[in-house]
Amino acid sequence: MIAAASQDGEDLGIYDFRSCEGPDELRREIAWAFAQAAPPVGDWTSESSCRTYFKFATHFLRFVREKYPDVEAARHVTPAVWKAWMLAASAGVRLRPVLLRIPGLPQATREAMRTRGTRQRATAKVSSHSTEEFRAIRQAAQAKVRVAEIRIREGRILLERWRDGEFEPGTDEDLWGRALHHVSETADAPRNGDAVRGAISRPLRRLVGGSGAGHHFWRRLFPTFEEMGAAAILLCCHDGWNFTTLARMDVPDHRPNGETEDEDAVIQRVSTQKARRPRRLRHGSNNLVDLGEGSAGRAMRQVVFITEQARATRAALGRPTERLLIARRFTPVEGEPFGMGAGSLEQAVKDWSKAAAMLTAEGTPLSLSPQRIHRTVQVLYGGPRHNTSQVSDDTYRLRDAQVRDGAATVVAKGLQAAVDDAVEKVRMRLVRHTGESEEQAARLAGQTGIALDTAKQVMAGDLDTAVGSCTDFEHSPFTPQGPCSVSFLMCFACPNAIATERHLPRILYLQAAIDSLRSVVSEAVWDADWSAHHDRISDLVKTHTREDERPALRARLTEADRGLVDRMLERRLDA
């Protein structure tokens, strides 16, 4: 029996080989090899890896017992046995790292294991969510987390008021305060007699309509599994983290912009672990900026808040943790009321997915998972998310059904654009002093090559976007088919975009806002997400405005202009 644990002491499961079918000596050898590879001693770092290898080890032992009864130990596993196993198990090669650790394995079998087959594995064709599905998922997850935040905030305020002695003894508020104080220390409602199976007292049951269920009380301070699942999906929607990273994520522990502990953190630094990378590259960090409702920083702040008391209670029980995603189980497992880690998070996402019961446009159930959201963020918004450009392209974007279906059109348009304009960087046109007369509309049409009616609409503001005017929203060079759905920042690279005098204050404010991000994001994030946009905007400003006139242009910025640009940067205006 092997107990796996991470380097920081997290329980990664018990793996009991005693119940496995198969020859005794081979079972002991495989168990020994498993123990050498499992954490904290070996190279594996996650519960998922342990469970996968244990499953294949169990299947291999059963296979040997049924098909090769003469095999009693690793020394009897010949190349023929290995090849037969590979044919019988579609993913049998995954057991190779375990068997190769056994000293008694024949050399010929080792060589057979290291020889790669000539058969090419079929590339899985998977699909990301559509823009509409992704937006609906993000909104549903946000709503679920918001409900939990409101409920838990009310519970914590009531508890603090009780601790401050604000309630008269014997009142309902006093009873609630006593009950929540007990919950904060024990993770369960007060019970008569037995602390686990005892009944909740009649006065407390009266507070919740006569029910004897403890969740009416602990839900006032802790999130449920459903809410933890929604929180995981929400964070993934905002920043594209994968499942393993979310399961291991700790609460933000730095305040890089120097706030005191009494202030709300505007910028939160999140530490991440990428288990499959080399040891020196496994640990990283991300800065999340709270730009208000709907921003990644605000979502992180909400998740930290709803899970804060769960961590405090676990510390009071003598089992402290810094895990971000933690929730109260309805039924404790082996005395543990809280769930966290990969296994619990997987179940939490399933619980929320089932409860949300979301549907596709065709009316079929919508499958929800952090893995698919992780893929969708990279497909819809472009570029890597916590991985390299090569991994983003090879593993996610090029295997995605949406990307493949539109690839021919995109490639054709890209080649044509490259031929037509290989050196042009900024495609947005800017026309100063447009005025409002018929003659000026004709001049605008002549300068830009657009139709006269379109020029009149541009001058009237009827075609305005966040940063300019769009002369052909239905035919974007960045969207394979249908209306444009990319970020408004791409307007600066679009030949359909025209900016006029009235747009310059917004453009100057946008330039300053992006400038301010440079000091709070990593160089890699800046290069991947912001550098190209910043260069286009700066080139436009430098080409079409003078240094001495820019203060006057900035002074014309209205609160409405500022709010519009802020919402654009928070991606709240995305299609």
pLDDT tens digits, one per residue of 292-313: 888 888 999 999 999 999 999 9
**295, 296, 171, 153: which is closest to 223 by C-alpha?**
153
Structure tokens at 99: 């068997």
Measure the CA–CA gap between 484 and 429, rounded to whole angstroms: 18
Q: Are 17 and 1 in contact (CB under 8 A)?
A: yes
- Give the pLDDT band of residue 197 (cuts 50, 70, 90): low
- Whether residue 424 is predicted with pLDDT greater than 70 in this model: the reply is no
Question: How many whole angstroms separate alpha carbon 575 and alpha carbon 572?
Answer: 9
Across 476-503, average pLDDT: 79
Q: Which one of 20-24, 224-228, 377-381 scores highest in mean pLDDT?
A: 224-228
- Please list the residues that pair with 271 across neighbouring strands: 285
Name which of 278-282, 289-293, 316-320, 450-454 the model is least confident about.
278-282
Q: Kindly give the interhelix angle for 225-239 and 296-316, rounded to the nearest 10 degrees.
A: 140
- Which residues fall within 8 angstroms of residue 123, CB to CB, at 6 or more apart? 399
**Per residue in 147-188, pLDDT tens?**
999 999 999 999 999 999 999 999 999 999 999 999 999 999
Residues forming beta bridges with residue 429, ordered by sequence position: 498
What's the pLDDT at 11? 75
Rounded to the nearest integer, the mean pLDDT of the chain is 81
Residue 498: beta bridge partners?
429, 469
What is the pLDDT at residue 48?
79
Residue with tokens 């808040």: 305
Query: Does residue 462 sit in helix, strand or coil?
Result: coil
Whether the CB-CB separation of 163 and 194 falls below 8 Å is answered with: no
The helix or strand, by DSSP H or E, that contains position 333, with its residue range, turns out to be strand 326-333
Confidence category of residue 231, pLDDT binned at 50, 70, 90: very high
HEC secondary structure over 85-119? HHHHCCCHHHHHHHHCCCCCCCHHHHHHHHCCCCC
Cβ partners under 8 Å of residue 249, min gap 6: 241, 270, 271, 272, 323, 324, 325
Indicate whether 559 pLDDT > 50. yes
Strand, coil or helix: 351: helix
Q: How much is the pLDDT for 311? A: 96
Residues 6+ apart with CB under 8 A from 7: 39, 40
Is 164 in contact with 186 (CB distance < 8 Å)? no
Average the pLDDT over 538-553 and give the result. 88
Residue 425 has pLDDT above 70, yes or no: no
Mean pLDDT highest for which of 196-205, 258-267, 329-338, 518-527? 329-338
Q: Which of 56-65, 304-313, 362-371, 503-512 has the highest mean pLDDT?
A: 304-313
CA of residue 216 relative to chain centroid, distance:
30
For residue 208, give the nearest of 169, 179, 168, 166 by alpha carbon. 179
What are the phi and psi torsion angles at 286 (to 5°)? -135, 140
pLDDT at 521 over 60: yes
d(CA 556, CA 268): 33
pLDDT score of 257 more than 60: no
| pLDDT reading at 327 higher than 60 | yes
In this prediction, residue 125 carries a pLDDT of 52
- Map residue 327 onto helix, strand or coil: strand
CB 268 within 8 A of CB 300: yes
For position 75, what pLDDT does the model report?
93
Going by their DSSP bridges, the two strands 429-431 and 497-500 should be labelled as parallel
pLDDT the model gives residue 185: 95
C-alpha distances in Å from residue 13, one per residue of 9, 90, 187, 242: 12, 25, 23, 21
The number of beta carbons lying within 10 Å of the beta carbon of residue 532 is: 15
pLDDT (0 to 100) of residue 448 = 77
Q: Record the tokens describing residue 222, joined without a space.
A: 């802790």
pLDDT tens digits, one per residue of 15-61: 988 888 888 999 999 999 999 988 887 877 778 788 889 999 999 99
Report angle CA 350, 356, 357 to the nearest 5 degrees.
Answer: 90
Q: Give CA–CA dist 545/35, Å, rounded.
A: 67
**Given this model, what pLDDT does residue 210 score?**
85
pLDDT value, residue 119? 46
**447 vs 557, higher pLDDT:** 557
Looking up tokens 């998740």 gives 303
